[in-house]
Amino acid sequence: MGLKSLGEGKVERLKSSMVSRSRMKWWMIRATTTVLLWTCVVQLMTFGEMWGPRVLKGWPSCFMPSDSSLAVELSSLPVKVPNPPKRVYKNNGYLMVSCNGGLNQMRSAICDMVAIARYLNVTLIVPELDKTSFWADPSEFQDIFDVDHFITSLRDEVRILKELPPRLKKRVEHGMFYSMPPISWSDISYYLNQILPLIQKYKIVQLNKTDARLANNGLPLEIQRLRCRVNFSALKFTPQIEELGRRVIRLLRQNGPFLVLHLRYEMDMLAFSGCTQGCSNEEAEELTRMRYAYPWWKEKVINSDLKRKDGLCPLTPEETALTLRALDVDRNVQIYIAAGEIYGGERRMASLAAAFPNLVRKETLLGPSDLGFFQNHSSQMAALDYLVSIESDIFVPTYDGNMAKVVEGHRRYLGFKKTVLLDRKLLVDLIDQYNNGSLSWDEFSYSVKQTHADRMGNPTRRVVLPDRPKEEDYFYSNPEECLQLQDEPLSNT
């Protein structure tokens, strides 16, 4: 009996060992299969990114709810496209560019310089940005724009290098190059006949001022379209700026439609323009001292009242509040203030805040940790405002400066999005009449709405004024050669 029991025990242990090995084998098969399946999924996802919409595009994710904010954000990312083939041409030399002014002044200049480099068959060095203007922003090109995208996306048009080849770099260090400011508002023949021979002679030419150096009109269609391609496609902001811009837009969209108000009422603007409406005597004196402190601001003695009546001053916050109310802007709409520090602070913003309590800024939507990286970098902060401005439901600039013009043109390019182009000369006259009792509120509001009925960023022809290029419509505010225009004839207003 004892032997029988012992034998049975051995059999049971053997059976148990066989079952255990069988389970282990089955577990190993399952683990191996799972690893293989995951490998296939990863490979398919990789191929999906490479092949575009034909593989996995639009499939719901197994790991992300379709209505999650991250899913929405990822679905909005552009599909990767292959780089265009390099353009092969005989290189006539190297063009260096030093931009001047604020972000959008430099942005349009970069577009012009790419077009010029293309037509001169030269190599363009990534432009240097202005660090000596009022803002004293130390940002380099690559701190604001995606430099690799800029170079590769335009390689079928022009060769762009981050810096000169070592041998030529040494020549520049020893001053062996030619530097000059080109003549403003010049057409392409000026660059072909005057600048190209200099490049061929010296091999390296630096254009040390680039704002408004290429004409608005009278240029070949391919030049105009290349300017647009650079502006709307090649000049992407850095991923950090783009990401933060998307976050601000997402926060705004959570609460419905929003209006961007480009309230150009900062200290530098008022000092430069000489506009002191609503300022105290002490503030007016401070602005005058600032104007004299900058020698390149040529106009020194300015009559603020006359300049305002001619429509050459930015609207004050008080004037802006009246205008938005007259246009029947919803009191409860979110208004994003795209601007730097408003001169006069809360005192000057009080009437606007009372009329429209939902005023927000990037500083109120984001925490200090989000904006810490951008502090003391005004161009990067302006880039963030730019992204929010082009995505807004309505854009209202109170002055036609560089940002207002470039954003206006970008919104036209995006499908003629509503941009209220204020007639400041007429507005200040109507406001003065309303304030002195000559107009009732209803009369004032009706006149403001009638004046701006056709000033909403709708399709129009650019105004051409022969021999007066400074007074023409700016190319970047209405790049009509690049727009998908409607079938009906365009107006000339």
Residue 492 lies in a domain: no
Residue 35 lies in a domain: no
- Reference 391, options 225, 226, 242, 224; nearest CA is 242
Number of domains in the chain: 2
Residue predicted with more confidence, 483 or 34 = 483
Residue 120 in this model has a pLDDT that exceeds 90: yes
CB-based contacts of 2, cutoff 8 Å, min separation 6: none
Together in a domain, 177 and 276: no
Name the one residue in this structure whose structure tokens are 């007074």.
471
Question: How far apart (Å, rounded) are the C-alpha atoms in residues 259 and 334?
Answer: 6
The DSSP result for 288-332, as a single string, is HHHHHH-TT-------HHHHHHTT-SPPPHHHHHHHHHHTT--TT
Together in a domain, 243 and 225: no
Q: What is the pLDDT of residues 423-467, one digit of tens each?
A: 999 999 999 999 999 999 999 999 999 999 999 999 999 999 988
Residue 72 lies in a domain: no
Together in a domain, 215 and 133: yes
Residue 163 lies in a domain: yes
Q: What is the pLDDT of residues 179-234, one digit of tens each?
A: 999 999 999 999 999 999 999 999 999 999 999 999 999 999 999 999 999 999 99
Backbone torsions φ then ψ of 440, nearest 5 degrees: -75, 170
**Pairing of the two strands 359-360 and 334-337:** parallel
Question: How far apart (Å, rounded) are the C-alpha atoms in residues 450 and 390?
Answer: 25
User: What's the pLDDT score for residue 371?
Assistant: 84
Q: What is the pLDDT of residues 364-402, one digit of tens each?
A: 999 888 888 777 788 999 999 999 999 999 999 999 999
**What is the distance between the terminal CA atoms of the chain, rounded to a whole angstrom?**
114
Together in a domain, 177 and 321: no
Residue 446 lies in a domain: yes
Q: In the numeric block, which tokens belong to residue 211? A: 């704002």
The letter for the amino acid at 113 is M
Name the one residue in this structure whose structure tokens are 């025990």.
9
Q: What angle do CA 353, 355, 358 make, to 5 degrees?
A: 55
Q: Look at the alpha carbons of 41, 44, 49, 55 in this order and tell me if their dihedral is positive or negative.
A: negative
CA of 274: how far to CAs of 284, 298, 344, 408, 452, in Å? 9, 12, 15, 25, 26
Together in a domain, 249 and 349: yes
**Pairing of the two strands 123-125 and 359-360:** unpaired
**Three-state secondary-structure class, residue 26:** helix
Q: What is the pLDDT of residues 429-439, one digit of tens each?
A: 999 999 999 99
State the average pLDDT for the chain.
85
Together in a domain, 105 and 225: yes
The DSSP result for 367-435, as a single string, is -HHHHGGGTT-HHHHHHHHHHHHHHSSEEEESS--HHHHHHHHHHHHTT---B----HHHHHHHHHHHH
Q: Could you give the maximum distance between any two Cα atoms of the chain, in Å?
A: 124
Residue predicted with more confidence, 370 or 309 = 309
Together in a domain, 208 and 299: no
Residue 170 lies in a domain: yes
Q: What is the pLDDT of residues 129-138, one digit of tens each?
A: 988 776 678 9
Residue 67 lies in a domain: no
Together in a domain, 222 and 250: no
**Three-state secondary-structure class, residue 63:** coil
CB of 179 closer than 8 Å to CB of 463: no
Residue 105 lies in a domain: yes
Question: How far apart (Å, rounded) are the C-alpha atoms in residues 244 and 185?
Answer: 36
Together in a domain, 117 and 172: yes
Together in a domain, 229 and 244: no
CB of 266 closer than 8 Å to CB of 341: yes
User: What's the pLDDT score for residue 376?
Assistant: 74
Domain that holds residue 138: 94-234
Residue 360 in this model has a pLDDT that exceeds 50: yes
Work out the average pLDDT over 76-81: 56
Question: How far apart (Å, rounded) are the C-alpha atoms in residues 47 and 440?
Answer: 67
Q: Please report the beta strands in 89-177, taking only residues with DSSP state E, as ranges in sequence order.
A: 94-97, 123-125, 160-161
The pTM (predicted TM-score) of the whole model is 0.82
Together in a domain, 401 and 254: yes
Together in a domain, 315 and 389: yes
Which of residues 201, 234, 267 is at a domain's end?
234
Residue 38 in this model has a pLDDT that exceeds 80: no
Which of residues 179, 202, 234 is at a domain's end?
234
Which of residues 234, 266, 285 is at a domain's end?
234
DSSP state of 215: -
CB-based contacts of 284, cutoff 8 Å, min separation 6: 276, 304
User: What's the pLDDT score for residue 5?
Assistant: 41
